[in-house]
Amino acid sequence: MVQTHLNQAKYALDLLKRTNFLDAKLIFTPFPCGHKLSVYDGEPHDNPEMYRSVMGALQYLTITRPYISYAMNQVCQFMHSLKNTHWMAVKRILRYVKATYNHGLVYKPGTAHLTAYSEVDYAGNPEYRQLAYTAAEDG
């Protein structure tokens, strides 16, 4: 029985080296449960180009690490108005990548069973709720 293991360990280590996170403290969850980021919280981030570059590199890692997609979705929503709180969330993802740099996907022969989940919680996000309320009033 042949199985295939795909990982991006070298890419992850290169990213950690480029962002000076090779010696970072390890963390074992990419995003805190129940935490909500906001466009209004925090001070403006002083280096949006670096933030966007790191975000692009982390997006590429989701190819073999689909479990960081939720965290990436949360931090990518604020590319237009970056705050230091958003950068702190990205640093948490980088620390998680440091802890799991050699993780990846394993494909084994056999029957395929696909299960998908979606997190749709517009009511749980006050910014979306306000936008939806405003759109309904204009409508």
pLDDT of residue 120: 65
pLDDT of residue 112: 80
- 71-118 pLDDT, tens per residue? 999 999 988 889 999 999 999 999 999 999 999 999 888 888 888 877
Task: Tell me which amino acid residue 73 is.
Answer: N
* Residue appearing with tokens 């795909």: 6
Give the Cα separation of 66 and 53 in Å (integer).
19
Question: 138 pLDDT exceeds 70?
Answer: no
- 15-64 pLDDT, tens per residue? 999 999 999 999 999 998 888 898 898 999 999 899 999 999 999 999 99
Maximum alpha-carbon separation in the chain? 60
pTM, to two decimals: 0.78
Task: Tell me which amino acid residue 44 is.
Answer: P
pLDDT band at 128 (very low <50, low <70, confident <90, very high): low
Long-range pairs for 60-64: beta carbons < 8 A, 24 or more residues apart: 60/8, 60/11, 61/8, 61/11, 61/12, 61/15, 61/97, 63/8, 64/6, 64/7, 64/8, 64/103, 64/104, 64/105
pLDDT of residue 125: 65
Question: 13 pLDDT exceeds 70?
Answer: yes
Give the Cα separation of 16 and 96 in Å (integer).
11
